[in-house]
């Protein structure tokens, strides 16, 4: 169990609403749907109502600092079956990269790879007390696009399982390119946190609002407003 999963939830019952994609940039095709993730008739481009409101505020703040720039949405709502699919897919990819058969690998190797996976991916728990953040409609993965519509340099791709994904990994770098990446990460964090979101400690791209992770960062006594939906 991760620390944030111990935070109590009192779901406010707020609606899950479609993201107005015309206001943002969007990674297309959707990366997980393209892999075959089982969304069924549900869309990844949904968030809770208040999260949508604050996302629009972050977009406004970004354009005040960088006219023409857009938040680029990578992923948002993720049903638990999709979370399970992506955890399994990531595990299999890491196993294959290590030259191992995911179906018949030594238990020690399996445990090692599983630990790598859950450092970045939330466990697809059906327990209403420990939902994956994306399954609450409160979390979003995103990056930035410049005024030409090009994704800006962030130093590592979304979903990379390495220390390069930590938000401040390049903070002390002397290399111009990674300094630029750190500046862009800092800008993304500034506009998102300024709109009330919290940032995942291991992922520069992941932000959430009013879920367990957010509540943990607010301090003792805070309660999550969103559970699994």
- The tens digit of pLDDT for each residue in 18-55 reads 999 999 999 999 999 999 999 999 999 999 999 999 99
Cis peptide before 32 (omega within 30 of 0): no
Is the separation of the CB atoms in 48 and 137 below 8 Å?
yes
Largest CA distance in the chain: 54
- For strands 70-75 and 139-145, give the pairing: antiparallel
In sequence order, the 6+-apart residues with CB closer than 8 A to the CB of 149 are 25, 70
Residue 109: CB partners within 8 Å, gap ≥ 6?
A: 95, 98, 100
Q: What's this model's pTM, rounded to 2 decimal places?
A: 0.94
pLDDT computed for residue 104 by the predictor: 87
Q: Which of 49, 175, 203, 220 is catalytic?
A: 203
Please compute the mean of the pLDDT values over residues 2-16 and round it to a whole number.
Answer: 95
Given this model, what pLDDT does residue 61 score? 98
The CATH topology of domain 3-79+127-218 is: Muramoyl-pentapeptide Carboxypeptidase; domain 2 (3.30.1380)
Assess whether 203 carries a catalytic annotation: yes
pLDDT in tens, 55-68: 999 999 999 999 99
* Look-up of token digits 């940039």: 25
Q: What is the mean pLDDT of residues 199-205?
A: 97
First to last CA, the chain: 20
Show the tokens assigned to 30. Answer: 């959707």
DSSP H helical ranges for 66-127: 80-97, 107-120
Token couple for 224: 């999550």
Q: At what angle do helices 49-65 and 176-194 cross, to 10 degrees?
A: 130
Under 8 Å between Cβ of 218 and 227? no
Average pLDDT taken over every residue of the chain: 96
pLDDT digits (tens, 9 = 90+) for 89-142: 999 999 999 999 988 888 999 999 999 998 889 999 999 999 999 999 999 999
- What is the per-residue pLDDT across 169-183, written as a single tens digit (0 to 9) for each? 999 999 999 999 999
Residue 14 has pLDDT above 90, yes or no: yes
- Structural domain boundaries of the chain? 3-79+127-218
């Amino acid at each position: 169990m991760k620390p944030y999963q111990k935070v109590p939830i009192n779901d406010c019952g707020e609606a899950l609403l479609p993201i107005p994609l015309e206001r943002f940039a969007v990674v297309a095709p959707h990366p997980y749907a393209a892999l075959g993730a089982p969304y069924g008739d549900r869309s990844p481009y949904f968030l809770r109502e208040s999260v949508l409101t604050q996302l629009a505020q972050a977009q406004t703040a970004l354009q005040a600092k960088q006219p023409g720039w857009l938040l680029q949405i990578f992923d948002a709502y993720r049903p638990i079956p999709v979370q399970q699919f992506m955890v399994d897919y990531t595990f299999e990819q890491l196993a294959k990269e290590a030259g191992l058969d995911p179906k018949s690998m030594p238990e020690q190797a399996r445990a090692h790879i599983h630990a790598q996976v859950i450092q970045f991916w939330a466990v697809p728990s059906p327990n209403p007390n420990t939902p994956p953040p994306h399954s609450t409609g409160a979390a979003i993965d995103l990056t930035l696009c410049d005024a030409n519509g090009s994704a800006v340099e962030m130093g590592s791709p979304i979903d990379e399982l390495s220390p390069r994904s930590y938000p401040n990994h390049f903070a002390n770098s002397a290399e111009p390119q990674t300094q630029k990446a750190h500046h862009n990460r800092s800008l993304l964090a500034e506009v998102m946190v300024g709109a009330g979101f919290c940032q995942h400690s291991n992922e520069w791209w992941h932000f959430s609002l009013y879920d367990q992770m957010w509540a943990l960062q607010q301090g003792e006594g805070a309660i999550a407003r969103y559970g699994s939906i």
